[in-house]
């Protein structure tokens, strides 16, 4: 992976996804097949899916989150950026 010129390391983020009830598996399958998503799990609680994204820059990570937000049945997301 190419490293971020600004900080000399890759950008890593965790994204919690809330989706439509009953659409968790379908949404999970779309998320896990998204480039740069390294891991995803269906969870119980306020959010339905948590995924780990690794990119070469924070800008690219932001673009990946925007792609996830456009997946059908995704209602909201919360992104946690690793520092």
Distance of CA 9 to the CA centre of its chain: 18
**Structural contact between residues 10 and 54, judged by C-beta atoms closer than 8 angstroms:** yes
pLDDT in tens, 27-43: 999 999 999 999 999 99
| Per-residue confidence (pLDDT) for residue 9, from 0 to 100 | 76
pLDDT in tens, the chain (83 residues): 444 545 567 999 999 999 999 999 999 999 999 999 999 999 999 999 999 999 999 999 999 999 999 999 999 999 999 98
Angle at 59 between CA 64 and CA 34, to 5 degrees: 15
Q: Tokens at residue 35, please?
A: 């480039």
* N-terminal to C-terminal alpha carbon distance within the chain: 18
Taking the C-alpha atoms of residue 4 and residue 10, their distance in angstroms, rounded to an integer, is 6
| Per-residue confidence (pLDDT) for residue 1, from 0 to 100 | 40
Q: Tokens at residue 62, please?
A: 């932001």
| Per-residue confidence (pLDDT) for residue 27, from 0 to 100 | 98
Q: Where are the domains of the chain?
A: 11-81
Please give the class, per CATH, of domain 11-81. alpha beta
């Amino acid at each position: 992976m190419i490293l971020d010129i600004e900080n000399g390391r890759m950008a890593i983020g965790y994204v919690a996804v809330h989706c439509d009830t009953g659409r968790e598996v379908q949404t999970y399958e779309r998320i896990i097949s998204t480039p740069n998503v390294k891991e995803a799990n269906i969870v119980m609680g306020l959010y339905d899916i948590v995924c780990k994204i690794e990119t070469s820059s924070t800008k690219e990570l932001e673009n990946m989150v925007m792609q996830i937000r456009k997946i059908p049945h995704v209602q909201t997301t919360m992104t946690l950026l690793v520092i």
